[in-house]
Structure 1
Amino acid sequence: MVFSSLIFLFQFLPAALLTYCLSPKKLRNAVLFAASLVFYAWGEPLYIVIMIFSTVFDYANGLLIDKYRNRKSIARAVFIGSICGNLAILGFFKYAGFVVQNVGEMFGLHVQAADLPLPIGISFYTFQTMSYVADIYLGKVPPQRNMIAFGTYVAMFPQLVAGPIVKYGDIAEQLASRKMTLERFGEGAKRFIRGLAKKVLLANNIGMLWTSAKSTPLEELTVLSAWLGILAFTLQIYFDFSGYSDMARGLGKMFGFDLPQNFKHPYISRSVTEFWRRWHISLGSWFREYVYIPLGGNRRGLHKQLRNLWIVWFLTGLWHGASWNFIVWGLYFGFIVTVEKLFLLKRLTRWPHWIGHLYTLLIVIIGWVLFEYEHLPSAWTFIGTMFGFGAHELADRQALYDLLTYGGLFVFLALCATPLPQKMVVLVEIRWNRVGVIVVTAFYIIGLVLSTAYLVNESYNPFLYFRF
């Protein structure tokens, strides 16, 4: 089940909200936990066993670490066992086929790995349970003794599938006590509708151009069509993923939770370092807190700092998928961030802002090519086409037609990727008072109606990050 589906919008969500609101406060965690299990099991009922096992496994590990806190060897053994167990589950479903295939190729063996479907959200909830155990081991949080409350934290359907990655300490108090008010519910509904419109009206429409470009044989691509295609994907993945995050945060608020921000207008960045502080914030925060800092961070000299950065970026690429293109994509950004840290970042601050913006967008756009093409030679060919290498025309009729057809949408989406729309909404509400509130509310209602209209005739279209 996906948020951008009629079943979710008009059947599952109303039923879950109604049951939740009518339930006593003491039972609301249980209701949300049960609803989350139904949501998760909708398409993959068998894999719910894995999530329940992870939940029980780390619930018990947290209690054991707390019980043996004064016996460090036992606590350490439980902690290591928890990390190894979680990584083993994630590795089996996500990376086993990749490892078997590459080992087979290395030794000239024809080994066919089992093509196991990836459990939805496993990369996200595995990171959440590991961070929970790590925080208990480090003494940052006390263990959760209520099994249902912990299960709610792990399985909470608003952010189960594609984040944001929520650390237990961020919502521990909210699991015990939270308030539902009409004002908070209204804020959550608006954020959800905004995310839905981003996904359905913006990401899906511009994504059709990228689908067309990617399906075109590489030898038939023109320079213009290559640029239009990858620019379309650049906008699609932002509005798709940030739209999902907005929906997740909106749903969380409707149920009384405040989930962390995951995007902060990344395409206005003036450096790649800044871009990654604005893009998928919860993932970057997780790697910084649980990998980069434990490795020593920047406290042990430049060489070890750079080593730690490369380890983090290798793992960041690998986290996104069991394929060499993701590893190359991660190392590519590791190299860029290293260059910025060594000398480029200081120079960028002295140059005109537009140079920093242009440089960052160019680096990020090239990165998206590596991200999207699993076959690396195809990625290099596509990048070469973008810059005029090879026997490719500058443009053809189809590319010019796409430019005229999508030109207005490109401009509109580029503006929507900045803080400008949000500032305009606030300005209207402040300047026009009650009338402004009515206008903004009407705008959200129109967005919901249009999104629903698109979903009526649209085929199944999951979020891009479902596969991670």
Structure 2
Amino acid sequence: MLFNSIDFAIFLPVVFGLYWFVLNKNLKVQNLLIVVASYVFYGSWDWRFLFLIVLSTGIDYSIGIALAEEDRKGRRKLLLWCSLLANLGILGFFKYYNFFIDNFITAFTFFGSRPDVRMLDIILPVGISFYTFQTLSYTLDVYQHKMTPTRDFVAFSAFVSFFPQLVAGPIEKASHLLPQFYKKRTFDYAFAVSGARIIVWGLFKKMVVADNAAIIVDGIFTNYEAQSSLALVLGAVLFAFQIYCDFSGYSDIAIGTGRLFGFDLMTNFLFPYLSPNISEFWKRWHISLSTWFRDYVYIPLGGSRISQAVALRNIAVVFLVSGFWHGANWTFIVWGGIHAMLYIPVFMKRKASTTLATTPHMAATLGKTLINFIIVTLAWVYFRSDSVGMANDYLIRMFSGGGKAAYFLISSKYMLITAISFGSILLLLAVETYAFRRQQKEVLLDSRLLLGLCLMILFVGALKNHANFIYFQF
């Protein structure tokens, strides 16, 4: 069930009405409604994958209780490994089985033999990477004595399957979201209205910016060998905004929907393309994932406490694992490696600096921001490409010139889509820059802008240029 679908437009008011006006007197029944609604929401893609959520929920709920009752360090560590192997094993099978088998076959083919190993036709369950990391945060926090395990199975099931952020985040830490299911919730009109405004902003980013940019991007990348350098540049730039608006748009809708039900979900994007360097970019991009890796990978590996060499190793590990988390393709690993190489010099410079920071001149900041955006955009080419070879070829053609085609000017239809894409991107940048300069944590829409965005959403909705959320594949 897509957020930008008629099904969800019917589903949300029904659940909202039952939640606040029928079942509002009983917290446990409200939580049970969230579980049922979440399973209906997720089951609309493929009901068979509900068993995976139920399995993951049952494993971590049981292990959490077992950890609370076990004092022996060896037994506790064994329980933790059971959770890790079960959750990561399920994730690894569905997401990475064919990747490893394909590379295994390729490696042996290099030495002159080809093993007879069967590839499987595996369907990737929507959102498996997101809810797997969310349940793991619970087990890891309980193991580290950072939180007390719950004995409320309904509340825990609601935490794991909470439909607004189930399939594409934000990846909530158990210590933040789970306690919210224990507390009596009363309807807060102002909080709900702020959620509705965030939903509109998310729909604008998804339906107006991302979905229209996707048409141009797909056309350019599919036939990139025939495109001009300008077309390839525009394809890369439009993809940068497509993936940002697609993913952050989903997060905004999730956060806003959570507020409609009285829940506070963490900010997942904080105007990342306005960052002056790659370190700042990663503090503002996919914040829930970067903090997850910081807390459960980087710091346990030693962080930056031991030595600079260890810190650099840990940074490289985090970025490579982050790239691999995104998909079973070498393109994602290369993308992660590029960001590691970009991040390490900034990290070393920051560690070596002994002078007080000064406020840079606005022109200098703008120049750094533009350079950082260009670098990030070039790295996105690997993320979008089908193979590393394709990405390399795309970049070579971008800088060397070549074809004469201009996909975005083929017909009046694509001229309209291009105009919508660039016009909406300019509006996006204007609104986000305004919020950024005022150090706001979210975009605050006034009534006139809100009305204008609603009209734009209805207009592009009539064009039916819809596309699935990119991060559903991760």
Would the TM-score normalized by the shorter structure come out above 0.5?
yes
1:239 paired with 2:240, answer: no
Displacement of 1:385 after TM fit?
1.6
Match of 2:90?
A: 89
Q: Go from structure 1 to structure 2 and tell me whether the alpha carbon gap of 1:398 and 1:417 turns closer, same or farther (over 3 Å shift).
A: same
Moved more, 440-449 or 312-321: 440-449
Match of 2:66?
A: 64
Written as runs of structure 1 = structure 2, the 5 A alignment for 1:61-210 is 61-68=63-70, 70-108=71-109, 109=114, 111-177=117-183, 178-210=185-217
Are the aligned partners of 2:275 and 2:281 in contact in 1 as well (CA < 8 Å)?
A: yes
Distance (Å, rounded) in 1 between the aligned partners of 2:351 and 2:395: 25
1:367 paired with 2:379, answer: yes
Match of 2:31?
A: 29
The one of 289, 295, 300 equivalent to 1:289 is 295
Secondary structure of 1:252 counterpart: helix
Written as runs of structure 1 = structure 2, the 5 A alignment for 1:258-269 is 258-269=264-275
Match of 2:235?
A: 229
The one of 47, 50, 54 equivalent to 1:48 is 50
Identity of aligned residues (%): 35
Q: Deviations over 1:167-202 (max 9, x none)?
A: 011123311113322221111111111111211112
Distance (Å, rounded) in 2 between the aligned partners of 1:248 and 1:303: 39
Displacement of 1:450 after TM fit?
4.1
Written as runs of structure 1 = structure 2, the 5 A alignment for 1:430-445 is 440-441=446-447, 443-445=449-451
Are the aligned partners of 2:209 and 2:424 in contact in 1 as well (CA < 8 Å)?
A: no
Q: Go from structure 1 to structure 2 and tell me whether the alpha carbon gap of 1:315 and 1:370 turns closer, same or farther (over 3 Å shift).
A: same
Match of 2:8?
A: 8
Secondary structure of 1:162 counterpart: coil
Q: Deviations over 1:320-369 (max 9, x none)?
A: 00011011111111111112223499899879223311221121011110
Q: Deviations over 1:140-168 (max 9, x none)?
A: 11111100000000000000010000001
Moved more, 89-98 or 102-111: 102-111
TM-score by length of 2: 0.89
Q: Go from structure 1 to structure 2 and tell me whether the alpha carbon gap of 1:357 and 1:450 turns closer, same or farther (over 3 Å shift).
A: closer
Q: Deviations over 1:280-313 (max 9, x none)?
A: 0000000000000000000010110001011101
Are the aligned partners of 2:227 and 2:406 in contact in 1 as well (CA < 8 Å)?
A: no
Moved more, 402-411 or 241-250: 402-411
Distance (Å, rounded) in 2 between the aligned partners of 1:119 and 1:441: 39
Secondary structure of 2:147 counterpart: coil
Are the aligned partners of 2:216 and 2:408 in contact in 1 as well (CA < 8 Å)?
A: no
Are the aligned partners of 1:324 and 1:374 in contact in 2 as well (CA < 8 Å)?
A: no
Structure 1 consecutive aligned stretches of length 4 or more whose deviation exceeds 4 Å: 344-351, 395-405, 421-427
Q: Go from structure 1 to structure 2 and tell me whether the alpha carbon gap of 1:370 and 1:398 turns closer, same or farther (over 3 Å shift).
A: closer
Matched to 1:359, the amino acid is: I
Distance (Å, rounded) in 2 between the aligned partners of 1:415 and 1:445: 14
Are the aligned partners of 2:219 and 2:407 in contact in 1 as well (CA < 8 Å)?
A: no
Are the aligned partners of 2:273 and 2:281 in contact in 1 as well (CA < 8 Å)?
A: yes
Displacement of 1:409 after TM fit?
4.2
Displacement of 1:416 after TM fit?
1.3
- Contiguous gaps of at least 5 residues in structure 1: 428-436
Q: Deviations over 1:219-264 (max 9, x none)?
A: 3111100001111111111111111110000000000000000001
Q: Go from structure 1 to structure 2 and tell me whether the alpha carbon gap of 1:146 and 1:229 turns closer, same or farther (over 3 Å shift).
A: same
Distance (Å, rounded) in 2 between the aligned partners of 1:212 and 1:294: 44
Written as runs of structure 1 = structure 2, the 5 A alignment for 1:410-421 is 410=422, 412-417=424-429, 419-420=432-433
Q: Deviations over 1:383-417 (max 9, x none)?
A: 1122126xx15x65656779976367426414513
Q: Go from structure 1 to structure 2 and tell me whether the alpha carbon gap of 1:337 and 1:54 turns closer, same or farther (over 3 Å shift).
A: same
Distance (Å, rounded) in 1 between the aligned partners of 2:459 and 2:407: 29
Distance (Å, rounded) in 2 between the aligned partners of 1:4 and 1:408: 18
Secondary structure of 2:386 counterpart: coil
TM-score by length of 1: 0.90
Q: Deviations over 1:370-395 (max 9, x none)?
A: 00112111100111122126xx15x6
Secondary structure of 2:187 counterpart: coil
Match of 1:376?
A: 388
Displacement of 1:454 after TM fit?
3.5
Distance (Å, rounded) in 1 between the aligned partners of 2:140 and 2:462: 45
Displacement of 1:105 after TM fit?
1.4
RMSD of Structure 2 on Structure 1 (CA): 2.7
Count of residues in correspondence between the two structures: 452
